[in-house]
């Protein structure tokens, strides 16, 4: 009995193809919106750390980006951070989609990363709500047991919250015994500047869906608190690669930028609990993804 009471704490890396639901799972567990959830793939560009505090355990999530192809510097940095997260982790969680089954890319992730790491790995079969024929789930689980010696296989619907508790229990089972590693009030180690930039970037994605794929970056230049007015003034720059992208973000008579600004401001206000003035500028910076200095400024910290 004594053993059951020992506190556990450690790191968990989520890995999977883009769009399998990593952010949704993490947000569901943490109950706080930390990384971007969007219907487009590859929106989680950087490692985002979230901490789940429980009575008996502290689970620290390393939200690795989807495994992606691409030759530019940004993609390289993203991949390095994904691998870095996995090496730091005590437990690896691989996620696949129930309705798609094992894809070629999933197989590659298993072969190229998971098998090499040789750490306790939990397989999550997410989006079971999307399965038309539920009878296919058992064969899929069976197929998965043949592929690798997964510590556990957990079918899940992150969007409906199904089996999330079972998943958390499984994580606790494989975490090492350790005192808490983070103070209790800490949910993320992301600096506020970075968090605000993520909110703005999410609003850009949601509003420009078709026209603008992944070519916008946001840098928060300053956050100034005006104490006596209970106000925070934030200045941020949106970088795009092409002149016509700038036009899309600004929109007719500035309507699009206004909409993005209002949505972002409202969300930032609800997080800070203060009134916010958000000033947004759009700048064209061709090939920003290749610019090391700018990438560093934007918080991509794994650049050497
Ligand atoms: N039907 C269904 N949709 C889901 C489920 N989990 C996630 N989704 C949706 O799948 C899409 C991708 O989810 P994300 O959580 O952003 O996926 P991700 O793996 O973090 O994606 P990247 O950031 O691109 O790596 C979103 O539209 C989610 O709403 C689920 O259990 N069921």
Instruction: Give the mean pLDDT of 239-260.
Output: 92
Residue 17 assigned ligand-binding role:
yes
Q: Identify the weakest region by mean pLDDT among 107-116, 252-261, 289-298.
A: 289-298
Q: How confident is the model at residue 177 (pLDDT cuts 50, 70, 90)?
A: very high
For a substitution probing ligand 1, which of 16, 18, 21 has the most ligand atoms within 8 Å of its CB?
A: 21
Phi, psi dihedral angles at 237 (to 5 degrees): -115, 135
Higher pLDDT among residues 194 and 36, named by residue: 194
**Nearest-10 crossing angle of helices 243-250, 255-272:** 70
Task: Give the residues across from 57 on adjacent strands.
Answer: 8
Q: Does 168 appear as a known binding residue?
A: no
User: What are the sequence ranges of the domains in the chain?
Assistant: 2-174, 192-297
Check if the beta carbon of residue 23 is closer than 8 Å to that of residue 36. Answer: yes
How does residue 299 score in pLDDT terms, banded at 50, 70 and 90?
low
> ipTM more than 0.95?
yes
Tens-digit pLDDT profile for residues 52-63: 888 899 888 875
Q: Which residue has the higher pLDDT, 215 or 62?
A: 62
Q: What is the pLDDT at residue 211?
A: 65
Q: What would the pLDDT profile of 148-174 be if each residue is shown by its tens digit?
A: 999 999 999 999 999 999 999 999 999
- The reply, when asked if residue 56 is annotated as ligand binding, is no
Instruction: Check residue 73 and give its pLDDT.
Output: 61
Quick one: DSSP state of residue 123?
Answer: E
CATH code of 2-174, in short, is 3.40.50.300
Whole-Å CA distances, 59 to 30, 69, 82, 123: 10, 29, 18, 17
Contacts of 27 (CB under 8 A, 6+ apart): 33, 34, 35, 37
Cβ-proximal residues to 67 (8 Å cutoff; 6+ apart), any chain: 15, 16, 17, 18, 79, 82, 105, 108, 109, 113
Q: Once rounded to an integer, what is the mean pLDDT over residues 186-215?
A: 73
**Which residues surround ligand 1 with Cβ inside 6 Å?**
16, 18-24, 37-39, 41-44, 65-66, 126-127, 129-130, 157-159
pLDDT band, very low/low/confident/very high, at 78 (cuts 50, 70, 90): low
Ligand 1 centroid from CA 113, angstroms:
21
H or E element, residue 81: helix 73-88
User: Which tokens is 299 given?
Assistant: 């918080």
Look at residue 8 and give its three-state secondary structure: strand
CATH topology of domain 192-297: GMP Synthetase; Chain A, domain 3 (3.30.300)
Task: Indicate the average pLDDT of the chain.
Answer: 80
224-240 pLDDT per residue, tens:
877 788 888 999 999 88
16 is in an annotated binding site: yes
Quick one: how far is CA 13 from the chain centroid? 11
Q: Is residue 189 pLDDT above 60, yes or no?
A: no
pLDDT of 180: 80
Indicate yes or no: pTM above 0.80. no
Q: How far is the CA of 275 from the centre of ligand 1 (A)?
A: 31
Collapsing DSSP states into helix, strand and coil, what is residue 94? strand
What is the distance between the alpha carbons of residues 279 and 267, in angstroms, rounded to a whole number? 15
């Amino acid at each position: 009995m004594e053993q059951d009471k020992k506190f556990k704490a450690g790191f968990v890396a989520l890995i999977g193809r883009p769009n399998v639901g990593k952010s949704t799972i993490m947000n569901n567990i943490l109950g706080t919106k930390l990384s971007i959830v969007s219907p487009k793939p590859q929106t989680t560009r950087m490692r985002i750390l979230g901490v789940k505090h429980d009575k008996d355990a502290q689970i620290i999530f390393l939200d690795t980006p989807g495994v992606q192809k691409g030759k530019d510097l940004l993609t390289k940095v993203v991949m390095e951070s994904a691998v870095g997260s996995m090496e730091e982790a005590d437990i690896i969680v691989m996620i696949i989609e129930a309705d798609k089954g094992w894809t070629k890319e999933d197989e590659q992730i298993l072969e190229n990363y998971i098998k090499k790491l040789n750490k306790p790995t939990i397989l999550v079969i997410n989006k079971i709500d999307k399965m038309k024929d539920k009878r296919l789930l058992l064969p899929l689980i069976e197929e998965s047991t043949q592929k690798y010696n997964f510590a556990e296989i957990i079918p899940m619907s992150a969007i409906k919250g199904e089996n999330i508790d079972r998943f958390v229990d499984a994580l606790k089972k494989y975490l090492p015994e350790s005192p808490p590693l983070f103070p209790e009030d800490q949910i993320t180690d992301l600096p506020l500047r970075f968090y605000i930039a993520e909110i703005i970037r999410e609003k850009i994605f949601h509003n420009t869906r078709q026209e603008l794929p992944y070519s916008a970056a946001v840098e928060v230049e300053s956050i100034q608190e005006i104490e006596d007015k209970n106000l925070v003034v934030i200045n941020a720059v949106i970088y795009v690669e092409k002149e016509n992208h700038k036009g899309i973000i600004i929109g007719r008579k500035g309507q699009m930028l206004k909409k993005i600004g209002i949505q972002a401001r409202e969300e930032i206000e609800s997080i800070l609990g203060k009134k916010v003035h958000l000033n947004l500028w759009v700048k064209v910076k061709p090939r920003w993804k290749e610019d090391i200095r700018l990438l560093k400024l934007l918080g991509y910290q794994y650049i050497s």
